[in-house]
Copies of this chain bind each other. A is one copy, B any other.
Amino acid sequence: MAALKYSRQRESIKEFLMTRTDHPTADTVYENMKIIYPNISLGTVYRNLSLLSDIGEIQKLSSFGGADRFDGRTEPHCHFICTGCGCVQDLEMDDLQDIIQKAAAHFSGEITDCSARFSGLCENCLKK
């Protein structure tokens, strides 16, 4: 197991993600990091995003259509993607455990995790 060493880039990436609720892509993180560290490389951003998500300090959200997105919230929660504007929003959901049990009833393996994705129109797109 690799020993983790401090890096100001990694710290900034994590801080940045915690200020955002729109689940930015790696490229958006990169663009914002360039403001602070003009020489930062995209490779470093990817390496740190992947590291942070491995140790559970951020969450990686795969495939909402295009590039992966990253979420500073680590508590389990669901996501909603708007079919109108493509935005991704957090969604509260009390009992995922309940859903897992329902699914397990029809299944022969062992289910340990569930990630639900909802889609439809967001508040803004509804108005149009």
Chain A residues proximal to chain B, CB less than 8 Å? 62-65, 68, 78, 80, 82-83, 89, 91-95, 99-100, 102-103, 106-123, 125-126
Name the one of B103, B110, B120 contacting A111, with C-beta atoms under 8 angstroms: B120
Q: Say yes or no: A91 contacts B103, CB within 8 Å.
A: yes
Q: How many copies does the complex hold?
A: 2
CA distance A91 to B104 in the complex (A): 9
Q: Say yes or no: A125 contacts B99, CB within 8 Å.
A: no
Evaluate whether A115 and B116 lie within 8 angstroms (CB atoms) in the complex, with A91-B106, A93-B103 already known.
yes
The 19 sampled A-B contact pairs (Cβ below 8 Å) are: A62-B62, A62-B64, A78-B103, A80-B109, A91-B107, A93-B103, A103-B116, A108-B123, A109-B122, A109-B125, A111-B119, A111-B120, A112-B119, A113-B118, A113-B120, A114-B119, A115-B116, A115-B119, A116-B117
Contacts of A100 in B (CB 8 A): 118
Told that A80-B107, A114-B117 touch, could you supply 20 new A-B pairs with CB distance under 8 A?
A62-B63, A62-B65, A78-B103, A80-B103, A80-B111, A82-B109, A89-B109, A91-B103, A92-B106, A93-B102, A93-B103, A99-B99, A100-B118, A103-B118, A109-B120, A109-B123, A110-B121, A111-B118, A115-B116, A116-B116
